């Protein structure tokens, strides 16, 4: 009897949350915003400090959130072919390095100034560094900018960031459990080795992998990819490698047709678990803890927006893009989102300063919204552009 009631409560809570996500996502679409910040906000309003107590579903949602992270990264890996990653690395490294230094510095400095210690500062640096590939790619599609000449610059920077994440996540994993610099260095070496090996294997043996997984049935493909990713992710966690990074590498290793169909069948699943991931993060934050960190968050966000705009501007100028395109590229890098929350989630789970979570949440909320709006209105900003050369026309 008690079990039956518990089950019922679980369903009610879970169902309510998913319905709220659906409604909220629709609102987001209507007002031209990405859904991620609104998912976060929903979690904020529903979780700690709210009138609702989500006891029955808390554990389940937590598991869903963990799966959500794996799926987010699997899909990210599926987006890229090993060739694209290699090209991104070889052509995009100058802009990528500038991006890394300019945008992790604010977080690093802020973490140290707030007295959170070097580890938390490094993690905060990661939160401020990484832009949201999910939000940005979606906005570029919605704003019809895929064909713009500055877009490859933006996408290449994002590729570089994702590669850096593959190394960064295992490192902070070690740091957050109290490892020292030596262990962290080992972690970097191992991560670089594993990532490189995975890229090489993926390029060489893509047709084998293709054949192994390429069944006619979508159902079998879905089960296969999902099972394989969870398995690899779990095994990775056992040997202290980030499961999320393992999922990313699985995505990269899957090639061509398998990747294409994989993206199709996994997208709905990712949306469900990914949505729950954002909600879960918000659930853990008590909205009452936001106002105290609002000022630092605003400050950090302003700096973060500035450094990203400067990065994009510089990278686009190097690529020979005109002033308008440079501004579009700069604004396109502003949105923060899923990755920042993943990193902050790792920190919160291992018990950093109580203000870390709220600060990261506020930061991401502000920049997800501001960044999306800035991207949309980039062309309205008055810029001195070179005068057009008059076309010799009819009268002559």
Q: Token digits for 332?
A: 């396109």
Could you tell me if residue 242 is left (phi over 0), alpha (psi between -120 and 50 degrees) or otherwise beta?
beta
> Taking the complex as a whole, how short is the minimal distance between the CB of residue 32 and other proteins, in angstroms?
18
158 binds other proteins (CB under 8 A): yes
Q: Which residues are within 8 A (CB) of 353 and not within 5 positions of it... i.e. 6 or more apart?
A: 114, 116, 120
With CB under 8 A as the contact rule, the residue among 145, 270, 308, 336 that binds other proteins is 145
**Sign of the CA dihedral with 159 first, then 164, 167, and 172 last:** negative
Among 39, 80, 168, 363, binds other proteins (CB under 8 A): 80
Q: Which is nearer to other proteins, 84 or 237 (CB)?
A: 84
Q: What is the CA radius of gyration of the chain?
A: 22
159 binds other proteins (CB under 8 A): yes
Interface with other proteins includes 267 (CB under 8 A)?
no
Q: Which is nearer to other proteins, 185 or 385 (CB)?
A: 385
Q: Please report whether residue 150 would count as binding other proteins according to CB under 8 A.
A: yes
Binders of other proteins among residues 232 to 261 (CB under 8 A) are: 260
- Of the pair 172, 244, the CB lying nearest other proteins is at 244
- Residue 308 interacting with other proteins (CB under 8 A): no
The per-type count for the chain, helices as H runs and strands as E runs, is 15, 0
Question: Can residue 79 be called a binding residue for other proteins (CB under 8 A)?
Answer: yes
Interface pattern 82-121 for other proteins (x via CB under 8 A):
--xx-xx---------------------------------
Q: Which residue in 33, 46, 155, 202 binds other proteins (CB under 8 A)?
A: 155
- Find the binding residues for other proteins in span 356-375 (CB under 8 A): none
Can residue 175 be called a binding residue for other proteins (CB under 8 A)? no
Residue 381 binds other proteins, judged by CB under 8 A = no
Cβ neighbours around 70 below 10 Å, total:
26
Nearest approach in angstroms of CB 327 to other proteins is: 10
Per-residue b or e along 4-16, where b marks 16 or more CB atoms closer than 10 Å to that residue's CB: eeeeeebeebbee
CB of 251 to other proteins, least distance (A): 11
If binding is defined by CB under 8 A, does position 148 make contact with other proteins? yes
Nearest residue (CB) to other proteins, 142 versus 355? 142
Number of residues that bind other proteins (CB under 8 A): 31
Binding flag, residue 137, other proteins (CB under 8 A): yes
C-alpha span between 227 and 214 (Å, rounded): 15
Quick one: 224 or 322, whose CB is closer to other proteins? 322
Residue 329 beta carbon to other proteins: minimum distance, rounded to whole angstroms:
9
Looking up tokens 């990278």 gives 315
- Judged by CB under 8 A, the stretch of 29-37, 217-225, 322-330, 348-356 that binds other proteins is 322-330
Could you report how far apart the first and last alpha carbons of the chain are, in Å?
Answer: 91
Which of 48, 138, 152, 224 is close enough to bind other proteins by CB under 8 A?
A: 152
Interaction of residue 324 with other proteins, rule CB under 8 A? yes
Q: Helical H runs in 284-387? A: 290-318, 323-332, 338-349, 356-376
Paired tokens of 96:
């990528």
DSSP-based three-state secondary structure for 19: helix
DSSP letter for each residue of 133-147? HHHHHHHHHHTT-TT
Q: How far apart are CA 284 and CA 47, in angstroms?
A: 6
DSSP 120-133: HHHHHHHHHH---H
Q: Choose which of 322, 350, 353, 376 interacts with other proteins (CB under 8 A).
A: 322
Output the CA–CA distances (angstroms, integers) from residue 176 to 70, 110, 123, 344, in the order listed. Answer: 19, 18, 9, 11
**How far is the C-alpha of 108 from the C-alpha of 64, rounded, in Å?**
31
**Dist. CA 48–CA 230, nearest whole Å:** 29
Residues that bind other proteins (CB under 8 A): 79-80, 84-85, 87-88, 133, 137, 144-152, 155-156, 158-159, 260, 321-322, 324-325, 328, 379, 385, 388, 391
């Amino acid at each position: 009897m008690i079990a039956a009631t518990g089950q019922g409560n679980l369903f009610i809570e879970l169902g309510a949350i998913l319905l709220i996500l659906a409604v909220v996502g629709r609102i987001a679409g209507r007002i031209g915003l990405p859904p991620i910040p609104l998912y976060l906000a929903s979690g904020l309003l529903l979780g700690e400090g709210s009138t609702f107590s989500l006891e029955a579903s808390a554990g389940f949602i937590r598991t869903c959130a963990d799966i959500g992270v794996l799926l987010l990264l699997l899909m990210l890996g599926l987006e890229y072919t090993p060739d694209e990653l290699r090209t991104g690395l070889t052509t995009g490294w100058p802009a990528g390095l500038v991006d890394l230094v300019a945008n992790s510095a604010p977080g690093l400095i802020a973490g140290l100034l707030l007295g959170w210690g070097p580890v938390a500062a490094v993690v905060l640096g990661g939160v401020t560094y990484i832009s949201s590939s999910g939000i940005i790619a979606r906005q570029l599609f919605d704003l019809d900018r895929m064909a713009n000449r500055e877009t490859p610059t933006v996408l290449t920077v994002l590729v570089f960031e994702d590669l850096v994440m593959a190394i960064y996540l295992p490192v902070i994993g070690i740091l957050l459990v109290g490892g020292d610099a030596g262990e962290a260095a080992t972690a970097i070496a191992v991560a670089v080795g594993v990532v490189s090996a995975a890229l090489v294997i993926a390029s060489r043996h893509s047709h084998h992998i293709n054949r192994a997984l390429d069944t006619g049935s979508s159902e079998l493909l879905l089960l296969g990819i999902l099972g394989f990713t969870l398995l690899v992710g779990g095994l990775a966690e056992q040997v202290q490698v980030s499961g999320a990074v393992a999922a990313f590498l699985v995505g990269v290793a899957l090639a061509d047709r398998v990747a294409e169909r994989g993206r199709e069948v996994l997208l709905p699943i990712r949306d469900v678990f990914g949505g729950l991931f954002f909600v879960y993060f918000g659930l853990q934050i008590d909205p009452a803890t936001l106002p105290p960190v609002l000022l630092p968050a605003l400050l950090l966000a302003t700096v973060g927006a500035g450094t990203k705009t400067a990065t994009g501007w510089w990278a686009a100028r190097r690529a020979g893009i005109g002033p308008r395109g440079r501004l579009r590229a700069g604004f396109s890098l502003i949105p923060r989102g899923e990755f920042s929350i993943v990193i902050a989630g790792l920190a919160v789970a291992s018990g950093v300063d109580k203000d870390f979570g709220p600060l990261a949440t506020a930061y991401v909320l502000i920049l997800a919204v501001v960044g999306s709006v800035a991207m949309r209105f980039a062309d309205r900003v008055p810029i001195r552009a070179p005068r057009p050369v008059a076309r010799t026309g009819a009268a002559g």
